Structure 1
Amino acid sequence: MSAAAIEWGQPQVRPDTSSVRRWIEVGEQPRQPVPQILADLFSARIGYRVTTYDLGLGDGAAADRALIYSPSWPQTIEAVTDLGRADVDRRCILTRAPFALAATVGPSRDWLLNTLDQLPADRQRVHLEDVEAVRRMFTHFQEMDIFQGGGSGRLLLTAYMNAHVFPLLRRSHTEQVRRALCGAAAEQVYLLGWMAYDNGEHGTAQRYLIQALRFAEESRDPALGAHVLAGMADQATLLGHPKEGQRLAQAGRQGLARADSAACLADLWTLEARALAALGDKTGTAHAVNQAETAFAAVDPESEPEWAKFIDEAYICGEWANSFRDLGQPDIAEPHARRSIAHARSQNRARRGALSHAALAVTHLQNRDLEGAHAAGLKTLKLSATIKSSRSIEAIRDVAQKMHAFGKHRLVIDFNDRARTLLAA
């Protein structure tokens, strides 16, 4: 339990035998975040999400409820509303919450089974003023994330959701209007999760993504649900759970079989490639990238939903570069990284440019080209200074760590000095 408490940022939590005896025999309620930590420990051991309520330790905070993929639609609305309030208030129980691997199993399974059981979705767009207003706001906030990083606009988006979107969900609507509104809300809740993910707040991100998946199911839009699973796959792989990342990407592809989004399919194959690369599977990675290339070649940007607009050459080539970089295949990774950089530069996308320059720097290091790595690393620093993204910061740390193999070379010292200044800021 001590290790779990440290992960929660609570190293002082060290319950002894007497404390546990009082919980069991006397019914004493431990203080937060002990119930949350215990729920995480039991969940990891059993393999599915266990709540504080299941353990007899209270109803649980918003942080715990948001990990549950509830079959009840009213409970889903209340869970995501409570999560939004806690996020805006920056409550410690949420900001310290770690990623819970066991919580990813049930949502993807339930979404896939329920999606496959649904009748074909009505694809006609409902042109209601309130729903369209939500969708227009999504476009603005997504652009804010793409160009400025996830740390820039998330709390503003959360406040907008709390004040305008969640109240709409509580009103009565026709079935068509309700589905359209659920789809628009799913896009926004997913974006909140993605922004938290990009800002390094993985416990918060996971909770938003689980609730976004539930909203997507309610909208009867399999492509949107598959998109959410892609985000969950990306997060799982990044946090050191590539087998779970692969499973989530595969679940997304199975659910997408009844929908039509070549961009989403390309993304899911790409994220499966990232997971396979993390597992060291060269053959599987090459196959997944080939499948992604085939799907991406069929993308018609005009027919894709707004949430898929970011799945372009800047993004997808950058992820292919990261896959081959992770496999230690710099000669394959480098051309993909350069394609990504070129497209990111043409769009002024600093975050994607920073990530792909970092990938390029690592490929140079793998080829023992310190000068090339230094030049690409400096561009990573320059771009990262203009955005709020923990992923770009982690990319800088990764380049710096891999430069250590070159000892006290002047270029290594120069890069470390510049990186230290940015990281301190």
Structure 2
Amino acid sequence: MNTPNDQLAYWLGRSTISNKELARLAQSKAREWGQPNIAPNATRVRRWLEGETPRPPVPDILAGVFSDHFGFRVTTYDLGLGEGSSTDAALAYDPSFAVTVEVVADLGRADVDRRKFLAAAPFAAVAGVGPSRDWLLNTLDQEPEPGPRVRIEDVLSVKNMFASFQRMDVLQGGGSGRLVLAEYMNHHVYPLLRRSHDDTVRRALCEAAAEQTYLLGWMAYDNGEHSTAQRYLIQSLRLAEESQNAPLGAHVLAGMADQATLLGNPAEGRRLAQAGRQGLSRSESPACLADLWCLEARALALLDDKVAAARAVVQSERAYERVDLTTEPDWAAFIDPAYLHGEHANTMRDMGDAESAEQHARRSIEHAKKQKRARRGAMSQAALAVSHLQRRDLDGAYAAGLRTLSLSGQVKSSRAVEAVQDLQRRMQTFGSDRLVADFNERARALVAAA
């Protein structure tokens, strides 16, 4: 027996639309959307109210009807009709700014509500192809909704919050404060995007929203929620394009490249990093360029192109020599030696160059320790441990592995836990050695908690 749909009943009652009128409006909206065969009647509406779930695309059509009636966004989720098309919408790079605003707002609400589709939806391996291309090619238009105009002071208050949330991520891990940031975005930032702005304020607001939407994606990525991360990153890229900030868009592509490579698609990771570099051709951000070369090197190492990977590491280091953090944006603050040497250590590890991997890992560890960055320290200690394993030095690997465990326990980061698990797999070649058994025993609690 179906459970009555109280949410649909609420919105229908609030609208004062009758069952018969809702059926008529749904038919009209269906024809508008090119679905003339969808023709509900009042009886069908009654069954929906009784708990029958209409087949797609009827939930989206009903959401469109109620949105038109009220003059603001009403989603299929609001109507008790599931997720509608919101899963796929967040993977799309829509040319309409108005559509983008609604998609990213829906995504933020879904994230805070912890709706199942975000956790269950798979990472789409080639979803970055269209967005990265469109970011390079699109010209944009927008017709803002009427209402109080956004002031530059509103934007500055948003930007001032970014450093706090970014530092929370760096020091505590992506799983620590993401839902707090999502709540902040849902209540204070995304609503501003719906209001009217002059061109200067609009670009600044989109830049601030893109920065924090990227950070939401990065935090989800660090916490192992890859489908959620992918959707935030794509929408962040669209907002970055609206802001006309090429370095910021390139920075988002770097995050997308990192995720693609981590999830086993280094060819896509390389292509995204190259797109970011191409977008930087007319702008200046040595920190972002160093990051893009760094991530391209990571991908090339996994593609077994050792010569090109080593060359990309050199290009990354040369770009970083020109960095002046006083002129770089806030989001570039942690593209620094701790991060870059840590990633170069992973590149060298994947190339089988244990000596170079150790050198880069130790440099990263030194910088991370000074900054009290446990997550970066954990991942670089793991890279150091692997460099020992590659030289059959189990004692050295065990010692670095214990430091990895200690640091990983200080943050909420799936990447740190995955580094521990990677060490466990690599130690299997040493069989039942007592150090391997002890490390696995110590790692068990950390992995189980994650």
Same fold (TM over 0.5): yes
Pick one of 60, 68, 72 that aligns with 2:96. Answer: 72
Q: How does 1:74-89 map to 2 (within 5 A)?
A: 74-89=98-113
Q: Distance in 2 between matches of 1:337 and 1:193?
A: 26
- Structure 1 pair 293–92 and aligned structure 2 pair: CA distance change class (3 A): same
Does residue 302 (structure 1) correspond to residue 326 (structure 2)? The answer is yes
For structure 2, the 5+ residue unaligned runs are 1-36, 40-51, 60-81, 141-149
Q: Distance in 1 between matches of 2:446 and 2:167?
A: 24
Q: Distance in 2 between matches of 1:311 and 1:326?
A: 21
Does residue 130 (structure 1) correspond to residue 154 (structure 2)? The answer is yes
Q: Distance in 1 between matches of 2:302 and 2:429?
A: 21
Q: Distance in 2 between matches of 1:304 and 1:226?
A: 14
Does residue 256 (structure 1) correspond to residue 294 (structure 2)? The answer is no
Question: What SS does the aligned partner of 1:204 have?
Answer: helix
* Letter paired with 1:289: V
Is the Cα–Cα contact under 8 Å of residues 272 and 288 in structure 1 kept in the other structure? yes
Which residue of structure 2 lines up, in the alignment, with residue 199 of structure 1?
Answer: 223
Q: What's the C-alpha RMSD, in Å, of the aligned pairs?
A: 2.2
Which residue of structure 1 lines up, in the alignment, with residue 391 of structure 2?
Answer: 367
* Letter paired with 1:341: I
Which residue of structure 2 lines up, in the alignment, with residue 228 of structure 1?
Answer: 252
Q: Tell me the CA shift for residue 371 of structure 1.
A: 0.5
Q: How does 1:25-424 map to 2 (within 5 A)?
A: 60-114=84-138, 128-424=152-448
Q: Distance in 1 between matches of 2:340 and 2:87?
A: 32
Q: Tell me the CA shift for residue 170 of structure 1.
A: 1.1
Alpha-carbon displacement from aligned partner over 1:287-324 (angstroms, at most 9, x marks no partner): 10010010011100110000000100000000000001
Question: What SS does the aligned partner of 2:127 have?
Answer: helix
Q: Tell me the CA shift for residue 192 of structure 1.
A: 0.3
Is the Cα–Cα contact under 8 Å of residues 193 and 204 in structure 1 kept in the other structure? yes
Is the Cα–Cα contact under 8 Å of residues 274 and 296 in structure 2 kept in the other structure? yes
Q: Tell me the CA shift for residue 132 of structure 1.
A: 1.0
Q: Distance in 1 between matches of 2:132 and 2:105?
A: 21
Q: Distance in 2 between matches of 1:320 and 1:158?
A: 32
Q: Distance in 1 between matches of 2:428 and 2:54?
A: 45
Q: Tell me the CA shift for residue 127 of structure 1.
A: 8.9
Q: Tell me the CA shift for residue 102 of structure 1.
A: 2.8
Query: Alignment length, in residue pairs?
Result: 368
Q: Distance in 2 between matches of 1:127 and 1:391?
A: 39
Is the Cα–Cα contact under 8 Å of residues 354 and 380 in structure 1 kept in the other structure? yes
For structure 1, the 5+ residue unaligned runs are 1-24, 36-57, 117-125
* Letter paired with 2:417: I
Is the Cα–Cα contact under 8 Å of residues 126 and 268 in structure 2 kept in the other structure? no
Q: Distance in 1 between matches of 2:330 and 2:358?
A: 30
- Structure 1 pair 282–115 and aligned structure 2 pair: CA distance change class (3 A): farther
Q: Distance in 2 between matches of 1:262 and 1:362?
A: 30
* Letter paired with 2:416: S
Alpha-carbon displacement from aligned partner over 1:197-229 (angstroms, at most 9, x marks no partner): 000000000000000000000000000000000
Is the Cα–Cα contact under 8 Å of residues 151 and 197 in structure 2 kept in the other structure? no
- Post-superposition, which runs of at least 4 consecutive aligned residues in structure 1 deviate over 6 A? 25-32
Question: What TM-score does the superposition give when structure 2 sets the normalisation length?
Answer: 0.79
Q: Distance in 2 between matches of 1:190 and 1:422?
A: 28
Is the Cα–Cα contact under 8 Å of residues 115 and 220 in structure 1 kept in the other structure? no
* Letter paired with 1:268: L
Question: What SS does the aligned partner of 2:126 have?
Answer: helix
Is the Cα–Cα contact under 8 Å of residues 93 and 234 in structure 2 kept in the other structure? yes
Alpha-carbon displacement from aligned partner over 1:248-298 (angstroms, at most 9, x marks no partner): 000000001111100000000000000001111100100100100100111
Q: Distance in 1 between matches of 2:354 and 2:151?
A: 48
* Letter paired with 1:91: R
Is the Cα–Cα contact under 8 Å of residues 62 and 82 in structure 1 kept in the other structure? yes
Q: Tell me the CA shift for residue 129 of structure 1.
A: 1.6
Question: What SS does the aligned partner of 1:301 have?
Answer: coil
Question: What TM-score does the superposition give when structure 1 sets the normalisation length?
Answer: 0.84
* Letter paired with 2:261: T
Q: Tell me the CA shift for residue 351 of structure 1.
A: 0.2
Is the Cα–Cα contact under 8 Å of residues 262 and 296 in structure 1 kept in the other structure? yes
Provide the identity percentage: 67
Q: Tell me the CA shift for residue 60 of structure 1.
A: 3.7
Question: What SS does the aligned partner of 1:141 have?
Answer: helix
- Structure 1 pair 156–26 and aligned structure 2 pair: CA distance change class (3 A): closer
Q: Distance in 1 between matches of 2:153 and 2:89?
A: 31
Q: Distance in 2 between matches of 1:111 and 1:30?
A: 36
Q: Distance in 2 between matches of 1:252 and 1:333?
A: 26
Q: Distance in 1 between matches of 2:429 and 2:336?
A: 34
Question: What SS does the aligned partner of 1:102 have?
Answer: coil
